[in-house]
Amino acid sequence: MKGKANFSGVIAPVLTPFGEDGAPDPDRFVEHAEWLMDEGCTALAPFGTTSEANSLSVDERIELLAELVDAGLDPAKLMPGTGMCSVIDAVDLTEHAVDAGCGGVLMLPPFYYKNPSEEGLFRFFAEVIDEVGDDRLRVYLYHIPPVSQVGFSLDLIGRLTKEFPGIVVGLKDSSGDWNNMKAILETYPDFELFPGSELYLLDGLRHGSCGTISATANVAARALRKLYDNWQGSGADKMQDGISALRKSVQEYPVIPLLKALIAHYRDDPGWADMRPPFVPMPEAEANAAIRTLADRHDFRLAVAAA
């Protein structure tokens, strides 16, 4: 764990609630963000995969980010997703994030065209960084090949950190491949690495990572934070076991629809379960069965009922 990291700890990719008109609901979005910080999140990563960010327009993201900042959330603790297929859109979102004072941005690579060259990906990020042209910018690379298909090689990470020291500072690794995380930690020890799942929270911290940016933090931030705060203590392995068991249970279901169903259930706010296509909400019976299973297995209800 690095002391000088810009970000560290337990970071939630904030779920995005939609209103009856299908538009993002800023009030419930801000309420959820504030609750996540109260629950122990050290920072927030709105507009991630879990946030259905890729189902939002550029303008919707810009407006929702402004709502968070206007509501008084500390922008230094915000790492919004700003990576897009189009470099124009990525520059636009990134500029807004920097202007809002965000502590960093989490950037997907352009993901439509497959097997891009390393040079092409390098140029994409170089263009964003040059166009934004602001030394407050902190870029976290978003490596999630199971979804984006396009990822970051060790060589590309090296080239970007060398060319943009102090700007390209970290990476969220949602590859699910511990060997990849270890290789990054060993090759670039000053780089801020965030495993994209709390399955690797303790192992990551023991190898020099900074915490986790994880979907599950939307419903279990308190438990994740407890481990983060006590990872060097004697009870850490047992805490990791409990956290890992919950995560594995969650992964038995479609994760994003389940997380929204859990929030909807424990807040007694059925509209929270709504999703934008191509996602569809879990059917009610399936959602109820999943909620019961999680509650039975993991004494789960308390964490969310605190809302």
* Footprint on this chain of its own copies (rule: CB under 8 A): 22, 49, 54-58, 60, 85-89, 92, 109-114, 116-117, 119-121, 123-124, 127, 146-150, 276-280
Q: How far is the CB of 293 from its own copies (least distance, A)?
A: 21
Q: Are 247 and 199 in contact (CB under 8 A)?
A: yes
CA-to-CA separations, 228 to 1, 43, 50, 54, 269, in angstroms, rounded: 10, 13, 21, 29, 30
Q: How far is the CB of 35 from its own copies (least distance, A)?
A: 25
Measured from the CB atom, is 57 or 153 closer to its own copies? 57
Measured from the CB atom, is 41 or 56 closer to its own copies? 56
Q: Are 175 and 154 in contact (CB under 8 A)?
A: no
User: 16: alpha, beta or left, given left = phi > 0 and alpha = psi -120 to 50?
Assistant: beta
Measured from the CB atom, is 58 or 167 closer to its own copies? 58
Q: How far is the CB of 89 from its own copies (least distance, A)?
A: 5
Q: How far is the CB of 45 from its own copies (least distance, A)?
A: 16
Q: What is the Cα–Cα distance from 180 to 145, expressed in whole angstroms?
A: 12
Q: How far is the CB of 251 from its own copies (least distance, A)?
A: 14
Measured from the CB atom, is 72 or 278 closer to its own copies? 278
Q: How far is the CB of 138 from its own copies (least distance, A)?
A: 21
Q: DSSP readout, 26-94?
A: HHHHHHHHHHHHHTT-SEE--SSTTTTGGGS-HHHHHHHHHHHHHTT--GGGB--B---SSHHHHHHHH
Q: How far is the CB of 108 from its own copies (least distance, A)?
A: 9
- Neighbour order of strands in the sheet with 192-195: 105-107, 139-143, 168-173, 192-195
Measured from the CB atom, is 14 or 243 closer to its own copies? 14
Measured from the CB atom, is 7 or 124 closer to its own copies? 124
Pairing of β 43-44 and β 105-107 = unpaired
Q: What is the Cα–Cα distance from 269 to 273, expressed in whole angstroms?
A: 8
Pairing of β 168-173 and β 192-195 = parallel
End-to-end CA distance of the chain: 30
Q: Which residues lie below 8 Å from residue 62, measured CB to CB, with a gap of 6+?
A: 92, 93, 96
Measured from the CB atom, is 157 or 223 closer to its own copies? 157
Measured from the CB atom, is 8 or 197 closer to its own copies? 197
Q: Are 113 and 138 in contact (CB under 8 A)?
A: no
Q: How far is the CB of 90 from its own copies (least distance, A)?
A: 10
Three-state DSSP at 102 gives coil
